Amino acid sequence: MHLARFPRVSLGHFPTPLEPLLNLSRFLGGPNLYIKRDDCTGLATGGNKTRKLEFLLADALQQGADIVITQGATQSNHVRQTIAGAAKLGLKTQVLLEKRVSDFGDDYQRSGNVLLDNLLGGVIVDHLPAGTDMQQAMEHLAETLRAKGHKPYVIPGGGSNAIGALGYVACAEELLYQSTQQQLRIDHVVHATGSTGTQAGLVAGLTASNSGIPVLGISVRAAKEKQEENVYALAQRTRELLGIHGELSRATVVANSGYVGAGYGLPTEGTLEALTLLAQLEGILLDPVYTGKGMAGLIGLIRQGHFRKDDNIVFIHTGGSAGLFGYRELLQQQAKHE
Ligand SMILES: *Cc1c(COP(=O)(O)O)cnc(C)c1O
């Protein structure tokens, strides 16, 4: 692979650390857990969208865009990182938020990522009802801006298209390099999967190098079949963009949707347990929407005996801790129970 063929800007601190989770591994009685700290990308509290935005915003600059449009749920980490990355490049961002989660109060609506969106200079143009066709709403906003003489660049939800997924192809290369340096045989990579760019990029990168490392996405929203279909389609498009010939084996794309619970953005008991365990055993902050569920899935599967005791498993921490502040009431109730 030759990623330097694609335009890229520098927005994050790379490589992110790959470290053992000694206390959690001991607590669970094995396997050997490791964490790749993509929460430490450095961009306005960091996260996985930083990697995608290095390619997406470079494309925006190359196309001569003067304004960025994107969308996400109220507490979107993608929206926050997009605004921050664009700000660094001197671009303004106009945002459409979707009220995808309605169960939480004032902190959810205004604190956490929303507070940071405003501080970073993002313009929240509208806060639309759950189920709105957000892609169409963005196209409409782009039309309005074009009519005013602007050149908008539209980034899909989660930054998940083939250009964005290149960020996780780069992560796959980084991870393989670290595994060689640390003499760490990796048996599984596990992470939270949503808009699919992370898993698609990892699968494209890890298969292109014939690493033989399987990736397991823990779904935070969609059912297994739909999630796998979407990840597979994007992984294929990413391979095409990279000029990799031949068909990707369908078996390389695996998602587990057994840990979604009641729905997107609604933490389960397992999510809260994972948040608490990582905080209190490792001093690591997960998030209530993605990594809390992803880690709950990993812990759940370990308890079911899904992995071998001597497996080395890398959990990719995709960020999101800014979202904790949007869930203050729920987390305080949880703390009282203990
Ligand atoms: C967006 C996000 C994910 C999911 O990544 P996708 O590429 O959308 O599948 C996981 N964790 C966090 C914290 C995120 O913000």
What average pLDDT does range 136-161 have in this prediction? 98
Q: How remote is the CA of residue 218 from the centroid of ligand 1, in Å?
A: 11
Q: How remote is the CA of residue 167 from the centroid of ligand 1, in Å?
A: 13
Whole-number Cα distances in Å, 175 to 94, 248, 316: 33, 21, 10
Provide the pLDDT confidence category of residue 335 given band limits of 50, 70 and 90: confident
Nearest ligand 1 atom to alpha carbon 168 = 7
123-129 β-sheet, strand order: 123-129, 92-99, 67-73, 152-154
Ligand 1 lined by 318 (C-beta under 6 Å): yes
CA angle (194, 327, 27) in 5-degree steps: 75
Residues 6+ apart with CB under 8 A from 250: 232
What average pLDDT does range 89-113 have in this prediction? 95
pTM to 2 decimal places: 0.98
The pLDDT value given to residue 103: 78
The pLDDT value given to residue 338: 61
Would you say 289 and 259 are in contact if contact means Cβ atoms under 8 Å apart? Answer: no
The pLDDT value given to residue 249: 97
Please write the tens of the pLDDT for every residue from 203-252. Answer: 999 999 999 999 999 999 999 999 999 999 999 999 999 999 999 999 99
Ligand 1 lined by 158 (C-beta under 6 Å): yes
Please write the tens of the pLDDT for every residue from 288-299. Answer: 999 999 999 999
Containing H/E element for 233?
helix 224-242
Cα–Cα dist 236/220, whole Å: 22
Catalytic residue annotation: 76
What angle in degrees, to the nearest 10, is found between the helix axes of 197-208 and 49-62?
90
